[in-house]
Amino acid sequence: MATFLISFLLIGLSELADKTQLLTLAFVTKYPFYMVAPAVLIAVAALQLIAVFFGKFIFALVDPVYVSLIAGAFFVAFGIWSLIPHDIEEEKPKKAKMLPFFLIITAFFAAEFGDKSQLATVALAMKYRPAWAVFLGAFLGLGLLNLIGALVGAWLKNKVAERVVNLIAATIFILFGIVTILRGLI
């Protein structure tokens, strides 16, 4: 129980007002909560599994500069794409309706891969046992905070004009992408 609580609190506190909460908020202003929430939780689960079981080796093999450059370019492109109106509710093939779901998973994964919370999870997994308690604590810490971000985004979406929400979301994605690229280069 101590391992779970340490992981939950450490990862949860490290993610307060983090970029992924803003990212999740921006996604919910563009897509329905029922699509964003599971996509974010799938990405969180994948990230924390990697951190707990393979993190030490992956971070030794993947140059963080490349991760930052690719992720940054992806977010700038997604920000520009966010400015284009998309109505996912109109009749489309099932594959087209699922595209945003997979974009959310990929974007969240790219944003959080190698981030402080994932590195902290690697450190926790190296120090504490059992590994499942580290995973569960880290997953719930990161997952719950991002669900709060999604709820705020859903509320914001209903209170602010759609055009304003789209501009805010696009701005968040583009700025996030530029900062990610610059951090990779520095």
pLDDT of the residue at 88: 46
- What's the full length of the chain, in residues? 186
Question: 127-166 burial string, b = 16+ CB within 10 Å, else e?
Answer: ebeeeebbbbbbbbbbbebbbebbebbbebbeeeeeeebb
- The pLDDT value given to residue 90: 46
10 is written with which tokens? 């450490």
Better-scored residue on pLDDT, 17 or 111: 111
Per-residue pLDDT band for 85 (boundaries 50, 70, 90) equals: low
Q: What whole-number percentage of the chain has pLDDT above 70?
A: 83
Q: Which contiguous run of DSSP H or E holds residue 12?
A: helix 2-14
Indicate the average pLDDT of the chain.
81
Q: What's the pTM?
A: 0.73
Question: Domain ranges in the chain?
Answer: 2-185
182, 52 Cβ separation under 8 angstroms: no
User: Model confidence over 109-135: pLDDT tens digits?
Assistant: 988 887 778 878 887 887 777 889 989
Q: How far apart are CA 95 and CA 184, in angstroms?
A: 33
